[in-house]
A = this chain, B = another copy of it.
Amino acid sequence: MIAIGVDIGGTSIKGASINDKGEILDRFSLKMDKEIEPEISIGKMCDEINKFIKNKKYKSKIIGVGLGVPGILDKEAGIVKSSPNLPKWINFKIADFVQKRVNLRVKIVNDASSAVLGEARFGSGKNYQNIIMITLGTGVGGGIIINGKLYDGLGGTGAQLGHEVIRYNGRQCSCGRKGCLEAYASATAIIKEAKNNLKKYPDSKLNKEDVIDAKVIFELERQGDKLAKKLVKEYVIYLSEGLLDFCNIFRPEIFLLSGGVANEGDYLIKKIVKYMKKKHYGYINAPEIPIKLASLGYDSGKIGAASLLFEQYE
């Protein structure tokens, strides 16, 4: 059993053929123009998929296409209602559109949810029934697995774990509210804080960097750079406060971290665990929740989207 899993992003569309062990067989990708009509960009994607599967030996084993899509969806109806990063995508019936052009069953899911599905089925979350995944990238994404199943709320619009306010009236968030976790724990947030503080810390080596990203900030923090230390310290506090909230709200079996900042790996996790222990994982006597890195990297979304097709046969 094989499915096509596709990750639709603002700058590229990446897909792969994936078997029901979660293994990637072959890949394809194309550029995405987020400003054009979805019929054009997704039309091109369909052409690419048709070309991709045309001469594959396993063509007859392909049971469908799973799409991970950013935005607010009506999953059952296969519609993208709107998408902050894809302004022309309004009530786009993507599942029908793709089904007609590639003649395969199509399922859709929010892109953050497809990532947690991938990790839950075939990655770091494989042996757990209740998982909270946090993606620390441009934004802060979330994924929820409860009793072994994806939970993403009405029409796939829940699990927006980056959009819980941890500081009322705090930093402006991209969602319109102020003080969301995303405004403190995304890669974008730590970079912005770095830039805002450069003048206050003229001795910081960050002033000499052409490009400031989370990796550079963590590197300089290890070297003792004062600004970098302040940034990482605050970052860890806010991220940990968010995780403590999710301890109290979900008390899952495990947290998974993914995304750019999570590449700091155990170094970051140790700092978070230290902070969370100090706060008794939410309250005294509460069970400790282990934190692990997601293991599928950028493939988690494709694999999770493909897994939507396998689920009906389980």
Point out residues on A near B: beta carbons under 8 Å. 72, 81-82, 84, 130, 142, 146-147, 149, 151-155, 157-161, 163-168, 170, 175-177, 237-238, 241, 244-245, 248-253, 279-280, 282-287, 289
- The answer to whether B250 touches A158, judged by C-beta atoms less than 8 angstroms apart, is yes
Complex: chain B residue closest to A167, CB-CB: B168
Tell me if B72 and A177 are in contact (CB < 8 A).
no
Inter-subunit contact B279/A248 (CB<8 Å): no
| Contact indicator B283/A163 (Cβ below 8 Å) | yes
Q: A153-B130, A154-B130, A251-B157 are in contact. Are A165 and B284 (CB under 8 A)?
A: no
Q: Is there contact, CB below 8 Å, between B245 and A164?
A: yes
Contact B166 A252 (CB under 8 A): no
CA of A252 to CA of B280, assembled, Å: 29
B248 touches A155 (CB 8 A): no
Query: Which chain B residues lie closer than 8 Å to A146 at the CB level?
Result: 146-147, 151
Nearest neighbor of A163 in chain B, beta-carbon distance:
B248
Shortest beta-carbon distance, A125 to chain B, in Å?
15
Are A155 and B245 in contact, CB atoms less than 8 angstroms apart?
A: no
Q: Chain A at the B interface: mostly helix, strand, loop or mixed?
A: loop
Complex Cα gap A252–B249 (Å)? 14
Chain B positions within 8 Å of A160 at CB level: 248-249, 251, 282-283
Task: State whether A286 touches B157 (Cβ < 8 A).
Answer: yes
Collect the chain B residues with CB atoms within 8 Å of residue A176's CB.
279-280, 283-284
> With A153-B250, A154-B289 given, can you name 19 additional A-B contacts, CB distance below 8 Å?
A146-B147, A147-B149, A147-B151, A151-B250, A154-B252, A154-B253, A157-B286, A157-B287, A158-B249, A159-B249, A160-B251, A164-B164, A164-B245, A164-B249, A167-B167, A175-B248, A175-B283, A176-B284, A177-B244
On chain B, the residues within 8 Å of A238 by CB distance are 168
Q: Are A286 and B245 neighbours in the complex by a CB distance under 8 Å?
A: no
For the complex formed, measure the closest distance between the CB of A85 and the CB atoms of chain B, giving whole angstroms. Answer: 13
Contact A279 B177 (CB under 8 A): yes
Question: Do the beta carbons of A158 and B251 come within 8 Å of each other?
Answer: yes
Q: Which residues of B contact A284 (CB under 8 A)?
A: 82, 84, 176
